[in-house]
Amino acid sequence: MSCSVAVCNSPVFSPSSSLFCNKASILSSPQESLSLTLSHRKSQTSSPSSPSTTVSSPKSPFRLRFQKPPSGFAPAPLSFGSESVSASSPPGGVLKRKRPTRLDIPIGVAGFVGPISSAAAAVAATPREESREVEREGDGYSVYCKRGRREAMEDRFSAITNLHGDRKQAIFGVYDGHGGVKAAEFAAKNLDKNIVEEVVGLRDESEIADAVKHGYLTTDAAFLNEKDVKGGSCCVTAMVSEGNLVVSNAGDCRAVMSVGGVAKALSSDHRPSRDDERKRIETTGGYVDTFHGVWRIQGSLAVSRGIGDAQLKQWVIAEPETKISRIEQDHEFLILASDGLWDKVSNQEAVDIARPFCLGTEKPLLLAACKKLVDLSASRGSSDDISVMLIPLRQFI
């Protein structure tokens, strides 16, 4: 016996919960076995007040298929946690089912590229962390990351200060992985140094923008050449050099600057809902549709640019958008954050909350400001990983 069942509204396939689970749920009986195919989707949280909209697709990846095993074959043992329970009948012909042991799901391991500062601008990986939260207070910046409802933290960050022995030069990044942690980890270890290598010695803005683009594309190509390539990552980077602030992004990580208390976005999210991004995707043979109110490429990914995503590389490009500005006295601080923050907190709201911690105190309380923003997003129902980095800008003038 075989049948196919299309599943649209089951909470098992909610875009905010299922994409990042690496444990397969195995349901079985002596007569039937269940196989589940699920294409990875980037987690997106739509507004609870907005109605859910589902556009069906002939290539829908959601299917449950029941298959009757061939006669003469006994079902395989069922695995529950660290123990196995056999589902085969004893010699007497009476099936005795043992109550399964409690399934313990371990806390995911989250590794980060952390705050290493040196004249040589080296970046070293910090020890992997078991905690749901990671915080760093670095040389002129702070960052706080909180895991969402996934098994493992997929956000990463990087920071290199004192570039070329100059305290007024630095580069920072926040990376939001999807479909696993590999792409975000790779980007955190390689993207910033690839950008620095390309930009060295350049002064013209157009040349700098091209150099940053080459840094992103080089990182993407190197990751795709890795073994067992899986998943992708959104990225936002901010480089300070010669009094210039160079902000680039690919995906929906965002950079927001406080200019005299007024929020100014320095990046634009790359999502299929953007008219220019949708047109680019459709022109190259792809399609964009909605699932529960979230626009997706090929019915799968909810971002249109990033590092990795090999199976969608024709449409999910790694080319960043770059904005270059001169740092002025009223440029107070920069917020780099993953969409776990921006899906629940507006640009101006983030600036209003962080500003009292960053200004008017003898010592800026940057880490406290990061935590305040993360906790606000979580209190509003964000189930995503949330990473927030704060960087005072006047130190670079």
Model confidence at 95: pLDDT above 50: no
The yes-or-no verdict on residue 359 having pLDDT over 70 is yes
Q: What is the per-residue pLDDT for 204?
A: 87
61 domain residue, yes or no? no
Write phi, then psi, for 219 (nearest 5 degrees).
-65, -45
Mean pLDDT, the chain, whole residue set: 77
> Would 146 be classed as within a structural domain?
yes
| Burial tier of 373 (Cβ tally within 10 Å: 0-12, 13-18, 19+) | buried
**What number is the average pLDDT over the span 376-396?**
96
User: What's the pLDDT at 159?
Assistant: 97
- Does the pLDDT value for residue 68 go beyond 90? no
Phi and psi angles of residue 128, each rounded to the nearest 5 degrees, phi first: -65, 145
Residue 26 banded pLDDT, cuts 50, 70, 90: very low
With residue 376 as reference, give the H or E element that holds it: helix 366-379
pLDDT confidence band for 168 (50 / 70 / 90): very high
139/119: higher pLDDT: 139
Give the C-alpha separation, 35 to 28, whole Å: 10
Element (H, E) at 234: strand 232-241
In a domain, 173, yes or no: yes
Other beta carbons within 10 angstroms of residue 59's beta carbon come to: 11
Question: How much is the pLDDT for 293?
Answer: 87
* Domains held by the chain: number: 1
Q: Does residue 246 sit within a domain?
A: yes
Would you state the structure tokens that stand for residue 9, as one six-digit string?
A: 């509204």
User: What's the pLDDT band for 127 if we cut at 50, 70, 90?
Assistant: very low
* For range 351-363, the mean pLDDT: 91
Q: What is the pTM of this model?
A: 0.69
Which CATH number belongs to the domain containing residue 240 in this structure? 3.60.40.10
Q: Which of 37-41, 52-56, 261-265, 334-338 has the lowest mean pLDDT?
A: 37-41
d(CA 336, CA 21): 26
Answer whether residue 34 shows pLDDT above 60: no
Q: Which two tokens stand for residue 203?
A: 């002064």
Residue 285 has pLDDT above 80, yes or no: yes
For 158, the domain range is: 133-270+305-396
Residue 204 neighbours by CB distance under 10 Å: 9
The Cα 210–Cα 206 span in angstroms is: 6
Distance in angstroms (rounded) separating the CA atoms of residues 308 and 177:
10
At residue 202, the pLDDT reads 87
Question: Quick check: 3 pLDDT over 90?
Answer: no
pLDDT of residue 284: 93
pLDDT reading at 70 higher than 60: no
Categorize the per-residue pLDDT at 96 as very low, low, confident or very high, splitting at 50, 70 and 90.
very low
- State mean pLDDT over 63-69: 42
Residue 13 has a pLDDT of: 39
281 domain-assigned: no
> Mean pLDDT throughout 150-170?
93
Interaxial angle between packed helices 182-199 and 205-224, expressed in degrees from 0 to 180 and rounded to the nearest 10: 140
Instruction: Give the lowest-confidence range in 125-139, 280-294, 317-331, 382-396.
Output: 125-139
Q: What is the DSSP letter of 228?
A: T
Alpha carbon 223 to its chain's center: 16
Dist. CA 343–CA 376, nearest whole Å: 11
Asked if the structure places residue 66 within a domain, the reply is: no
- Those residues whose C-beta lies under 8 Å from the C-beta of residue 289, and which sit 6 or more positions away, are 55, 57, 295, 296, 299
* Half-sphere exposure of residue 124: CA atoms within 13 angstroms, side-chain side: 6
Quick one: which H or E segment has residue 386? strand 386-392
The one-letter amino acid code at 293 reads G
- pLDDT band, residue 131 (cuts 50/70/90): low
Q: How far apart are CA 259 and CA 99, in angstroms?
A: 62
C-alpha count within 13 angstroms, C-beta hemisphere, residue 166:
12
Q: What is the pLDDT of residue 361?
A: 77
Share of the chain above pLDDT 70, in %: 67
Instruction: Check: CB of residue 270 under 8 Å from CB of residue 236.
Output: no
Please tell me which residue, 55 or 37, carries the higher pLDDT value.
55
Query: Does 284 reside within a domain?
Result: no
Residue 73 lies in a domain: no
Q: Which two tokens stand for residue 226?
A: 């890795």
User: Which pLDDT tens digit goes with each residue over 210-266?
Assistant: 999 999 999 999 999 999 889 999 999 999 998 999 999 999 999 999 999 999 999
